[in-house]
Amino acid sequence: MTRDEFCSLPAAVALGLVYDLARLKLEQIPKPRLPLPPKFDGRLGRTGGFVWMSEMDLGSLEWWLTKKTESSLKDDQYAERNGKTADTLAKWVEWRKLFPNDRWNGTRGNDRVTAEAPSREPKLQEWSDKKNPTQRENAPPPAEEDDYRF
């Protein structure tokens, strides 16, 4: 079989042939552990809102991982938060390397969702979520001066 003939085979057939040729060595190697998709989605703050990490492509995830890791090494008030974000991004990078085009299924807050396809420019989300208002929005109005009791 020529190289061109081999390359024209469907991937499953070609891999089967390669396995048959390398069986003795491959049978001694344990199956590698594949990363599971992250269970929870992560938010990455951007100007004007945030993007979901599940909707970012591998290149964007790697770029932000580098930036957040560098920022976590600085001795400032955001170092701890940037470190946590870097840890979350590292999980996404690990999974996205093997599944660069897969749509993620998982949990965002209390909802099960299927994310949009990964993109270099994911949709910018607004911070204020009208379905789940923050405590500040739910807080009762401040008491007026006449309501003070001594």
Structural domain spans, the chain: 1-31, 43-128
The answer on pLDDT for 135 being more than 50 is no
What's the confidence (pLDDT) of residue 132? 53
Say if CB 134 and CB 128 are below 8 A apart.
Answer: yes
Mean pLDDT, to the nearest integer, of 55-66?
96
What's the confidence (pLDDT) of residue 150? 40
The answer on pLDDT for 53 being more than 70 is yes
- Determine which of 105-114, 116-125, 141-150 has the lowest per-residue pLDDT on average: 141-150
Mean pLDDT, to the nearest integer, of 28-43?
91
Say if CB 111 and CB 133 are below 8 A apart.
Answer: no
The pTM score is: 0.70
- Determine which of 76-90, 104-118, 130-144 has the lowest per-residue pLDDT on average: 130-144
Q: Where are the alpha helices (DSSP H) in the chain?
A: 3-7, 11-26, 58-72, 79-98, 135-138
What's the confidence (pLDDT) of residue 130? 54
What's the confidence (pLDDT) of residue 147? 45
The answer on pLDDT for 131 being more than 90 is no
Helix or strand (DSSP H, E) at 108: strand 105-108
Burial class, 92, CB count within 10 angstroms (exposed 0-12 / middle 13-18 / buried 19+)? buried
With bands split at pLDDT 50, 70 and 90, how would you rate the model's confidence at 136? very low
Max distance between CA atoms of the chain, in angstroms, equals 96
What's the confidence (pLDDT) of residue 127? 85
Mean of pLDDT over the chain: 86
Mean pLDDT, to the nearest integer, of 48-54?
94
What's the confidence (pLDDT) of residue 110? 87
